Amino acid sequence: MTQLPGAAPRLVVGLGNPGAEYAQTRHNAGFWFCERLAKLLGIALVPESRFHGLVGRAGELRLLLPTTYMNRSGLAVGTLARFFRIEPEAILVVHDELDLAPGDVRLKFGGSHAGHNGLKDIQAALGTDRFWRLRLGIGHPGQRDAVIHYVLKPPRAEEREAIEEAIERALAAWPDIAAGRWERAMGRINAKPKPPKSGPTDKERSS
């Protein structure tokens, strides 16, 4: 069983592609989360060319949206992490996840990149897979050769709504994440949301 580190995060990275043409696509779900987190924390994300991305700061915490395109995300993450001497265990990477349905979200530590080019490049840059990931479900097109087209298209309206609800649930656990209470955060984020309570049945109404 993987030993879970207890350090509070010092870097949160949202994965996506820069540019207006990609802003609403499924592959940019990590950007959506970080933009919402920046708003929650009241910090601005500003371009910093030396770190190849948009960067915001709140105390010891930094937010990063790489502007290198997805498959070069490791350049931004590695450069910033080395400059500020941030250990991989104190990094949270937020990304879209094909293997989860829209509305599903999972927090995990370490593991395979599972073919995700952003994660793959970050692992190569850091030399390890021992960093945290927040996986935002976007669903799968059903065919492997349709994946690239699928992730570079906007989700349907109901899918986007479900993804936004998942982001809300993850943000609700932010105080635990910020304090390094990772197991508690995992318990809150990874739990399946309760289905809405149904109304009384006809038999119950007539009794």
Is the model's pLDDT at 192 over the cut of 60?
yes
Is the model's pLDDT at 19 over the cut of 90?
yes
Residue 116 annotated as catalytic? no
Q: Are 63 and 45 spatial neighbours (Cβ–Cβ below 8 Å)?
A: yes
Q: Is the dihedral of CA 57, 63, 69, 72 positive or negative?
A: positive
Computed over every residue of the chain, the mean pLDDT equals: 92
Active-site entry in 27, 52, 95, 116: 27
pLDDT tens-place string over residues 25-78: 999 999 999 999 999 999 999 999 999 999 999 999 999 999 999 999 999 999
Q: Which helix (H) or strand (E) holds 34?
A: helix 29-41
pLDDT tens-place string over residues 124-170: 999 999 999 999 999 999 999 999 999 999 999 999 999 999 999 99
